[in-house]
């Protein structure tokens, strides 16, 4: 005698797959926010590395272009640069909004790079 599988196991599999897809979707949206943060911080570190060849306005202009290309909020382009004889500090401050079903989550970032000469 051949038995056919019950429908309950198929429904359980469908729910598991739906749950996995939902988690992956939200994980991708939130992960993308953090990826942009790390890319901005890397660009800030690169500018700090070559800061002895550039003035503050040139650094701000280059970082504003990076902010624009990454699609970050305009506030991220407001860069504060502090120099002294031994170091340079480049920092910014911005908030990104991620729309999830039923609510909007805000992520606040403060990228900062300190480079000692």
pLDDT digit string (tens) for 31-58? 999 999 999 999 999 999 999 999 999 9
pLDDT digit string (tens) for 75-97? 999 999 999 999 999 999 999 99
Listing DSSP states for 13-82 in one string gives HHHHHHHHHHHHHHHHHHHHHHHHHHHHHHHHHHHHHTGGGS-HHHHHHHHHHHHHHHT--GGGG--EEE
- Please give the backbone phi and psi of residue 43, each rounded to the nearest 5 degrees, phi first: -65, -40
Q: What is the pTM of this model?
A: 0.81
Residue 4 has pLDDT above 60, yes or no: no
Please state, for a pLDDT cut of 90, what percent of the chain lies above it: 66
The residue range of the domain holding 66 is 7-116
Structural domains of the chain, count: 1
Residue 5 has pLDDT above 80, yes or no: no
Residue 1 lies in a domain: no
């Amino acid at each position: 005698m051949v038995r056919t599988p019950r429908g309950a196991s198929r429904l359980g599999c469908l729910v598991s797959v739906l749950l996995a897809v939902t988690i992956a979707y939200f994980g991708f949206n939130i992960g993308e926010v953090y990826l942009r943060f790390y890319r901005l911080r890397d660009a800030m570190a690169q500018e700090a590395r070559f800061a002895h060849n550039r003035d503050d306005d040139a650094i701000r202009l280059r970082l504003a272009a990076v902010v624009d290309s990454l699609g970050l909020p305009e506030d991220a382009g407001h860069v504060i640069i502090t120099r002294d004889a031994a170091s340079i500090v480049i920092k910014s401050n911005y908030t990104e909004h991620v729309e999830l079903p039923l609510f909007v989550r805000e992520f606040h970032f403060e990228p900062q790079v300190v480079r000692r000469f």
